[in-house]
Amino acid sequence: MKLFYILLILMFFPFSSYSQISLNKLSTGLSNLWGISVLNNKEILLTQRKGNVFKLNIFNKNITKIKGVPKVVDFGQGGLLDIVVENINKNKKVYLCLSDKVNTTKSATAVHSYDLKNNILFNKKLLFKSNKPSNSSRHFGCRLAIIGEFIFATIGDRGSRHDAQNFANHSGSVIKIKKNGFNYNNNAFENALPEIYSIGHRNPQGLLFDNKTNQLWLHEHGPQGGDEVNIIYKGKNYGWPKITYGKEYGSGKKIGIGVSKNGFENPVKVWIPSIAPSGMIIYKGDMFAEFKNKLILGSLKFKRLHILTTKNKKIFDEKIILENKIGRIRDIEEMSDGSLIIINDEYNGGVFRLYKQKFWIKKSISYLIIEII
């Protein structure tokens, strides 16, 4: 009887890979950061509320201060807020939303455009300034979204809630204006200011346009409870302060006439208690397949990211990540490689990069000896 041994190689590929989620801190010491915009595949622009713009290389972590930034009214929640960069024929156009000085006591929410070259902002254009200046230190709104030749901007109620139902001023509205500064009438409401697109907003801190669905998404702060996510339509009234899920601070008393009424739009989602949402994207990349086409937004209050799954204009699932890992999350952006840039707005603020890191492992080759009789 002879024994025959056959050597079989079980593994044909000597290497395998796995991915690990990493959170890398890119900078520290930049206090009260507010807005992010992607400049190119390795650099971002950051706004600092007191009136600075910085360029940050996310790989070598070099920081450059941008010159030509306008003076702002850095008071309470106001200052230099959102920023959007647009590439036009290889040139960089920068849009800023900020608190503009009107007189010694009052400021107004404004939108400027600039050209950017050699780390200098120039060729300033005033595209919009709210017609209701205020000495209030709160509820500026000031998120921007670009759609074609238009800019959408959120204008907070500046703490004067009933102005959000007044067609004669911009407070508590979403506006739509032309990027070139030319006059444009939305004709959203009868006898309304031409820039007004929707009304009934308290303090919107997130705004984006989904090119896939042609939907304009917005979230805003309620009072004590009642933070909302809404889909914004021309000529619609989103209710504040007539309808709201929020209550009066301290007393918990009812605000307005209830949570719903004919003629007012109902929110897509409500948070009770409030999470203080800020910043928002729809994730389009491939690095985090589990986030694909989902809304991602920050929570200032609970210091975390919320991942919202949407379908047919509804939100039907919510997941929470990075709780207490970053701080008060103010804004979020997606890089071209699919990684996420996140900032907090604290005094000793930071910039973070969330990404998946791939590791390769060399496998040992396994052998099997089969005995044949």
pLDDT at 371: 46
pLDDT at residue 9 is higher than 60: no
Q: What is the pLDDT of residues 239-290, one digit of tens each?
A: 999 999 999 999 999 999 999 999 999 999 999 999 999 999 999 999 999 9
Mean pLDDT of the chain: 93
User: Percent of the chain scored above 90 by pLDDT?
Assistant: 88
Taking the C-alpha atoms of residue 186 and residue 322, their distance in angstroms, rounded to an integer, is 40
- The pLDDT score that the predictor gives to residue 102 is 96
Q: Does residue 229 register a pLDDT over 60?
A: yes
Please name the amino acid found at residue 84.
Answer: V
pLDDT tens per residue, range 313-370: 999 999 999 999 999 999 999 999 999 999 999 998 999 999 998 776 765 544 444 4
CATH number reported for the structural domain that contains residue 257 in this entry:
2.120.10.30
Answer yes or no: is pLDDT of 12 > 60: no
Average pLDDT over residues 72-88: 96
C-alpha torsion 220→223→225→230, nearest 10: -20
Residues near 349 by beta carbon (within 8 Å), at least 6 away in sequence: 28, 29, 30, 31, 32, 33, 327, 343
Taking only the tens place, the pLDDT of each residue in 177-228 is 999 999 999 999 999 999 999 999 999 999 999 999 999 999 999 999 999 9
- Please, what sign has the CA dihedral across residues 145, 62, 66, 136? positive
First to last CA, the chain: 7
> How many whole angstroms separate alpha carbon 78 and alpha carbon 50?
9
User: Rounded to whole angstroms, what are the CA distances from 87 to 13, 14, 95?
Assistant: 44, 44, 11
Bridge partners, 54 (sequence order)? 46, 65
C-alpha dihedral (68, 99, 172, 111), degrees to nearest 10: -20
Strand 196-199 versus strand 269-271 pairing type: unpaired
- Alpha carbon distance 82, 332 (integer Å): 12
What pLDDT was estimated at residue 10?
A: 42
Mean pLDDT calculated for residue range 90-119: 96
Question: Confidence band (pLDDT; 50, 70, 90) for 15?
Answer: low
Beta bridge partners of residue 204, listed in sequence order = 220
Report pLDDT digits (tens) over 131-169: 999 999 999 999 999 999 999 999 999 999 999 999 999
Which pTM value belongs to this model? 0.92
User: What's the rounded mean pLDDT across residues 81-90?
Assistant: 93
Q: pLDDT band at residue 2, thresholds of 50, 70 and 90?
A: very low
Q: Which domain does 240 fall in, by range?
A: 4-372
Q: Which two tokens stand for residue 169?
A: 């001023």
The total of structural domains in the chain comes to: 1
Three-state SS sequence of the chain: CCCEEEEEECCCCCEEEEEEEEEEEEEECCCCEEEEEECCCCEEEEEECCCEEEEEECCCCCEEECECCCCCCCCCCCCEEEEEEEEECCEEEEEEEEEEECCCCCEEEEEEEEEEECCEEEEEEEEEECCCCECCCCCCEEEEEEECCEEEEEECCCCCHHHHHCCCCCCCEEEEEECCCCCCCCCCCCCCCCCEEEECCCEEEEEEEECCCCEEEEEEECCECCEEEEEECCCCECCCCCECCCECCCCCCECCCECCCCCCCCCCEEECCCCCEEEEEECCCCCCHHHCCCEEEEECCCCEEEEEEEECCEEEEEEEECCCCCCCEEEEEECCCCCEEEEECCCCCEEEEEEEEEEEEECCCCEEEEEEC
